[in-house]
């Protein structure tokens, strides 16, 4: 059950930021109520709720996409756009900020189950932050609009660590990639992540998708899409089977 709760917590954070553009930014343990029958999570206190401008959310999505692909050039451009870096920042400092972002996003980049309870991200982040500030002299504060978001991200991580949740985000993407490769012989890249939209007709929503071209093709990708929605069979989901329709 703790793993199911952890998945819900992580999914909630991303839906709040990228779908709702509205976030409850105080992740105090007492602000969550778990419904035991469904493992759904209710938010009890919206006193610190905050709306985010869609443009800000898109800038943050660029950071997420860059970390998922390991594209440092795109990551630096996104960090400058959101205000983490100045475009003329000293190279060692800019590289240090990139390293810090990649470290913080480790659960997103991890292949397979990520064990929040065993993670050393808090201590590693502290050490890297001290190095940036005291050895490299990087003292730029984060943009004001990110402060509440950071509180939610850090608090959600600590909550997952407290309940020792193990979450595998890539498990949603794997079956889709396998099915596409079996049908086409080509790799499917999902750079922006995946989420499950539950309803009477459940959907798997993929973002920033690319289908590799044939070896003889001139372009790297045959098809790219900002968003791809795949329908899922409802009854197999109730038995914990994942079937595309």
Q: For residue 131, what pLDDT is reported?
A: 94
- 210/61 Cα distance (integer angstroms): 17
Q: For residue 172, what pLDDT is reported?
A: 46
Q: For residue 91, what pLDDT is reported?
A: 95
pLDDT tens over the chain, length 245 residues: 788 888 888 888 888 888 888 999 998 888 888 887 776 788 888 888 899 988 898 888 888 888 877 889 999 999 999 999 999 999 999 999 999 999 988 887 787 788 988 999 989 999 999 999 999 999 999 999 899 999 998 888 888 888 888 887 555 455 656 666 676 777 777 776 666 665 556 677 777 888 877 777 777 787 888 887 777 665 555 445 556 65
Structural contact between residues 195 and 13, judged by C-beta atoms closer than 8 angstroms? no
- pTM of the predicted protein model: 0.67
Q: Which helix (H) or strand (E) holds 188?
A: strand 188-190
Active site residues: 26
Q: Which helix (H) or strand (E) holds 128?
A: helix 121-130
- 150/119 Cα distance (integer angstroms): 18
The CA-to-CA distance between both ends of the chain, in Å, stands at: 28
Q: For residue 30, what pLDDT is reported?
A: 86
Length of the chain: 245
């Amino acid at each position: 059950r703790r793993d199911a709760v952890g998945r819900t917590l992580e999914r909630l954070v991303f839906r709040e930021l990228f779908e709702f553009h509205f976030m409850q930014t105080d992740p105090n343990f007492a602000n969550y109520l778990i419904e035991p029958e469904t493992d759904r999570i209710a938010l009890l206190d919206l006193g610190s709720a905050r709306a985010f401008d869609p443009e800000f959310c898109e800038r943050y999505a660029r950071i997420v996409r860059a970390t998922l692909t390991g594209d440092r050039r795109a990551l630096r451009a996104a960090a400058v756009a959101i205000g983490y870096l100045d475009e003329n920042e000293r190279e060692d400092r800019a590289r240090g900020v990139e390293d810090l972002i990649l470290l913080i996003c480790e659960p997103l980049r991890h292949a397979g189950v990520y064990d929040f309870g065993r993670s050393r991200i808090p201590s590693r982040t502290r050490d890297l932050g001290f190095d940036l500030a005291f050895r490299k002299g990087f003292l730029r504060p984060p943009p004001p609009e990110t402060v509440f978001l950071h509180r939610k991200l850090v608090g959600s991580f600590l909550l997952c660590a407290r309940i020792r949740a193990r979450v595998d985000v890539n498990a949603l993407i794997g079956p889709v990639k396998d099915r596409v490769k079996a049908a086409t012989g080509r790799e499917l890249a999902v750079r922006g992540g995946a989420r499950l939209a539950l309803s009477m007709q459940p959907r798997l929503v993929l973002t920033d998708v690319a289908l590799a071209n044939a070896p003889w093709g001139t372009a790297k990708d045959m098809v790219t899409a900002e968003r791809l929605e795949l329908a899922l069979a409802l009854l197999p989901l109730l038995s914990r089977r994942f079937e595309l329709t």
